[in-house]
Amino acid sequence: MQKERRVYRNGVLIGWEEATVHLLSHSFARGATIFEVLRFDSTARGPALFRLHEHVARFENSARLLSLPLAQDAAMLCRAVAETVAANGLPRGIVKLVGYHAAPKLDVLPPEGPLDIAVFVLDPAEDLHLPPADFEAGVTAVIAETRKLDPRTVPVAAKAAANYLNGMMAVLEARRRGADLALLLDTEGFLAEGATESIFLVREGVLRTPPLGGVLDSITRRSLLAVARHLGIEAREERLPPATLFSAEELFFACTPFPVIPVRRIESRELPHAPGPVARRLHRAMNDIAVGREPAFASWLYPIL
């Protein structure tokens, strides 16, 4: 349960209820928080984090893009995550790594000095009351009126709290329209991504996803492209007009907790055969990799020893 969880804060493990900031914290008031969400699973050697080095590298890049200095290097951040997972004793779960300024400040400029660092380790069912994903049931989705942030306004490659406000608005719209998830277009009208998910489609047997530049460089997205090519599935990164949603053989979202989320309906179009064959192959492969059953991708796992 949440109150039993140990939280890393600036080099010290503290209790759940101590993990607080002032209400006038700059990051709380301005959204200037960077973060990563990653998973760990039970393997034959014990719990292992999925692509920890890549997540930490992206965390560092978010800090660089937003001119927010870090006091810890990559090795220190990796140790902080691993030690917090070990301290909480869960066999599998979710980790949130957070960089923030705790100090109160009214000015738009952040406080001087490096970011504070926190690491949370959570059991999605016990701590967040999230039901397990039903791969076979899939989800419904709509194209949101809210657009993806234009990369000429803020760095969309930064995983920053402020960058998710339009995603929140898009999902609220989707729920009002009776759907589970929202798909955002970019400001030029091409497919971008979900609120917190990448989007993939299969058309003419080819796996396709929007290119980088206007979407987050998702670790799950990277992983699926690599796994697809390993399995002999042709994969392309290309600009996709919304019309492709209505001719694709398969559609699915992808995110850290749920690497393959089949779409069974987009707008009014039903996909009665979802999950399709490509989604099934990728779902099976990603699960095998996460629990250490795929030697070709063993380097993606960071064991908690």
Domain boundaries along the sequence of the chain: 2-128, 139-290
Query: What is the structure's pLDDT at 130?
Result: 83
State the average pLDDT over residues 57-72: 97
What HEC string does 158-227 produce? CCEHHHHHHHHHHHHHHHHCCCCEEEEECCCCCEEEECCCEEEEEECCEEEECCCCCCCCCHHHHHHHHH
- What pLDDT does residue 182 have? 98
Rounded mean pLDDT of 213-234?
Answer: 97
Tens-place pLDDT, residues 88-100: 999 999 999 999 9
The CATH class of 139-290 is alpha beta
Element (H, E) at 89: none
The pair of structure tokens assigned to 82 is 């691993």
Q: Candidates 3.30.460.10, 3.30.470.10, 3.40.50.12160, 3.40.190.10; correct CATH number of 2-128?
A: 3.30.470.10
What are 1-27's pLDDT values in tens digits?
Answer: 688 899 999 999 999 999 999 999 999
Mean per-residue pLDDT for 163-175? 97
pLDDT band at residue 128 under the 50/70/90 scheme: confident
* 73: its two tokens: 């290097």
Whole-number average pLDDT of the chain: 96
Q: How confident is the model at residue 207 (pLDDT cuts 50, 70, 90)?
A: very high
| Nearest residue to 257 via CA among 197, 203, 216, 202 | 197
Say what the pLDDT of residue 71 is: 96
Q: What percent of the chain has pLDDT over 70?
A: 100
How many of the other CB atoms lie within 10 Å of CB of 159? 25
Structure confidence at residue 196 as a pLDDT band (50, 70, 90): very high
Place 131 in a pLDDT band, splitting at 50, 70 and 90.
Answer: confident
For residues 112-126, average pLDDT: 95
pLDDT at 164 over 80: yes
- DSSP letter at 21? -
- Structure confidence at residue 129 as a pLDDT band (50, 70, 90): confident
pLDDT, residue 186, reads 97
* Mean pLDDT of the region 158-186: 97
Sheet holding 46-50, edge to edge: 12-15, 6-9, 116-122, 93-100, 34-43, 46-50, 301-303
